[in-house]
Each structure stands twice: as structure tokens, then as C-alpha cells.
């Protein structure tokens, strides 16, 4: 569940049904939150918007829906990382065709669920076509388990 303290402040992911002691670790996302921890690293991430449909994957830690994507590894290009992450998270092979946008804000801070790394997000969103295959799973929000891709619309 996503909690928003204010339109311009603190977004925090909380795993549904897991509040309180004994909760599974989840990442905490802060946006323009004056109480956010100070980042120790800037982390480049890439996400893919697939032509003809909106492809979302569900996070295992929080259950939140998001575009497929993730970190760019050392020695890896943003395009290679986007193709790899989309395939890992959705089972869909994509061919990158362009840049949607670059999104960065020093007030967007994420504390990792595991290890406690505190990072400033640096996000590149790329446009792509489905090259082959289909998402590993499709479904409705209520029936799709965490970690499964979800195709919301198709042209």
C-alpha cells in the first residue's frame, strides 16, 4: 500500500497485511520529505514503456505496481540493462527504440529493503517494442500475485 503524507512529501511503501512487528522488509520511498535520510549513493535505474500497451510488474516487497526495470550494472549500458530487467521481471523481450525521458530529483530518496542502502534515484525511461514472447502472466490487480507482470491496456 502506498501512503502519501502530502502531495509533495513522503511516499512510503508498506507491504500489504504486514504492518507491525515481524513485518517483511520493504523499501521506503521518500519524496520531498524533510525527514528523509541523506543518500549515500546515486543509483541509475532504467524502465521501459512498451509500445501498444502499458506493461506493469508487481513488486514482491510492497505489492506496488510499476514499469519493469531496475538498476544499471557496472559496465552495462542503459539499453542492455532495460532489455535484461524487462525480460527478468516480465518474461517479455523488448527492442529499445528511443528515450521517453530522464527523471531525477535530489528529493527522491529510497532506503533499500535489504542492506539499508540509501540512494538518490536517477531514472531513465526508454521506449520499446515487444520483440518476441509474451508477459509471463496477465491478470487483474486482485488476482495477479506479487512479482507477476500485468498488461493493463492494449491497442
Q: Look at residues 26, 23, 12, 14 and name the one whose alpha carbon lies nearest to residue 109.
A: 12
pLDDT at residue 50, rounded to an integer: 85
Range of the domain at 69: 2-154
Provide the CATH number for the domain around residue 51: 3.90.79.10
pTM: 0.66
Question: Measured on CA atoms in the order 11, 15, 21, 25, is the torsion positive or negative?
Answer: negative
**What would the pLDDT profile of 50-108 be if each residue is shown by its tens digit?**
887 778 888 887 788 888 888 899 999 999 999 999 999 988 899 999 999 999 999 99
Q: How far apart, in Å, are the Cα atoms of 106 and each of 25, 31, 42, 109, 119?
A: 24, 9, 9, 7, 10
Number of domains in the chain: 1
**What would the pLDDT profile of 111-150 be if each residue is shown by its tens digit?**
988 888 999 988 999 999 988 655 555 443 334 444 445 4
Which are the contacts of 143, defined by CB distance < 8 A and separation ≥ 6? none
Cell of 68: 519493469
Amino acid at each position: 500500500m502506498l501512503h502519501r503524507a502530502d502531495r509533495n512529501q513522503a511516499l512510503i511503501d508498506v507491504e500489504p497485511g504486514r504492518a507491525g512487528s515481524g513485518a517483511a522488509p520493504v523499501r521506503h520511498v521518500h519524496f520531498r520529505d524533510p525527514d528523509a535520510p541523506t543518500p549515500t549513493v546515486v543509483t541509475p535505474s532504467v524502465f521501459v514503456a512498451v509500445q501498444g500497451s502499458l506493461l506493469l510488474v508487481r513488486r514482491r516487497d510492497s505489492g506496488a505496481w510499476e514499469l519493469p526495470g531496475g538498476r544499471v550494472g557496472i559496465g552495462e549500458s542503459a539499453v542492455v540493462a532495460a532489455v535484461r530487467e524487462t525480460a527478468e521481471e516480465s518474461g517479455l523481450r523488448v527492442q529499445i527504440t528511443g528515450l521517453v525521458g530522464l527523471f531525477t530529483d535530489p528529493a527522491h530518496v529510497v532506503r533499500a529493503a535489504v542492506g539499508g542502502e540509501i540512494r538518490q534515484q536517477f531514472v531513465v525511461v526508454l521506449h520499446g517494442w515487444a520483440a518476441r514472447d509474451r508477459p509471463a502472466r496477465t491478470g487483474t490487480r486482485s488476482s495477479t500475485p506479487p512479482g507477476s507482470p500485468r498488461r493493463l491496456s492494449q491497442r
